[in-house]
Amino acid sequence: MLYIKRDDLIHPEVSGNKWRKLRLNIDQAKFKGKKRIVTLGGAHSNHIAATAKAAELYGFESVGIIRGEDADLSNPTLSFAQSCGMQLLKISRSDYRNADSWDFKDWLKERFENFYFIPQGGANFYGVNGCMDIMKEVMAEIQPDSIFVSCGTATTMSGMVLGNKGGCKLFGVSALKGGDFLLKDIGKNLMSVYSDRETTDFAMENIKLLTDYHFGGFAKLNTELITFMQSFYSETSIKLDPIYTAKTAYAMVEMAKMKHNKNPEKWVLVHTGGLQGIKAIEKRFQEKIY
């Protein structure tokens, strides 16, 4: 039996796991009396779109630092962000790579005052913590054998591992090529909470990272994936996004095919949202997906 955790329905614009990762960050920004939120992302980033909307909803000014001087500020994602009042600033890819550095933080402080900083993808302590709720909500309804979730930074998956009290198997599907490093990142996130190697290793035993379903790399796709999305939609009336959830659902179906266990199992697919990304892909391929 397959269940789908519909986090895509949380909010039409602050979708899915982005809402989970922003919630406690917004609380912190309020608590610290900040006036604006500064974050960063790529030109089609779901996180930029979600942060712009969340900032507007909660009465913050917002600034989005966008990767690449060639980014098109009038694309669907960035137009939307600006319509929410987000101020956008492009920086070079090399500067963007240094966004974790103190120099970069100093540069931000020179330009903007009284701001709360959220890293790319909402990948911080509060982001991880917000995602524990996904697991709590799933466990309150059903006790699944396996759960499948998409990974970009694996912040969402890290939170779910922390929230996994029932020992169910957690499959993370990497949206990027060469996603093996994500396992280390999950380990780091767990260590920073548990501060204990044994507890971390124990929690890591219940997870598996699937790294072969990236379809060529981040934001890459082919007609096979598009056909899969269309047939998934015609069977379930549920839209998947091409960057993350389609690849995860595809991986899950492949895993189901490989399984020879006769006992029926309960599986959950976490629909992390991201549907705003469809427009850009349709534009790129000059073809409607749905």
Ligand X SMILES: *Cc1c(COP(=O)(O)O)cnc(C)c1O
Q: Pairing relation of β-strands 146-151 and 169-174?
A: parallel
Q: Which residue is nearest to ligand X (CB)?
A: 274
Please report how the helices 125-141 and 16-31 are oriented relative to each other, as an axis angle in degrees rounded to 10. 130
Nearer to ligand X, 111 or 136 (CB): 136
Question: Which is nearer to ligand X, 215 or 244 (by Cβ)?
Answer: 244
Taking the least distance from each CB to ligand X, the nearer of 157 and 168 is 157
Of positions 25, 39, 46, 189, contacts ligand X by CB under 6 A: 46
Neighbours of 2 (CB within 10 A): 15
Compute the half-sphere exposure of residue 22: CA atoms within 13 Å on the CB side of its CA: 28
- Measured CA to CA in angstroms, residue 9 lies from 17, 154, 216 at distances of 11, 21, 29
Q: Which stretch binds ligand X (CB under 6 A): 111-119, 186-194, 238-246, 260-268?
A: 238-246
- Structural contact between residues 149 and 270, judged by C-beta atoms closer than 8 angstroms: yes
CB of 75 to ligand X, least distance (A): 16
187 binds ligand X (CB under 6 A): no
> Residue 244 interacts with ligand X (CB under 6 A)?
yes
Task: List the alpha helices (DSSP H) in 85-239.
Answer: 93-97, 102-111, 125-141, 155-163, 181-194, 197-204, 223-236
Q: Is 56 in the site for ligand X (CB under 6 A)?
A: no
Question: Site mask, ligand X, residues 109-148, x = CB under 6 A?
Answer: ------------x---------------------------
Q: Which is nearer to ligand X, 62 or 189 (CB)?
A: 189
Tokens read off for 17: 């796991």
Contact positions vs ligand X (CB under 6 A): 16-18, 46-47, 121, 150-157, 241, 244-245, 272-274
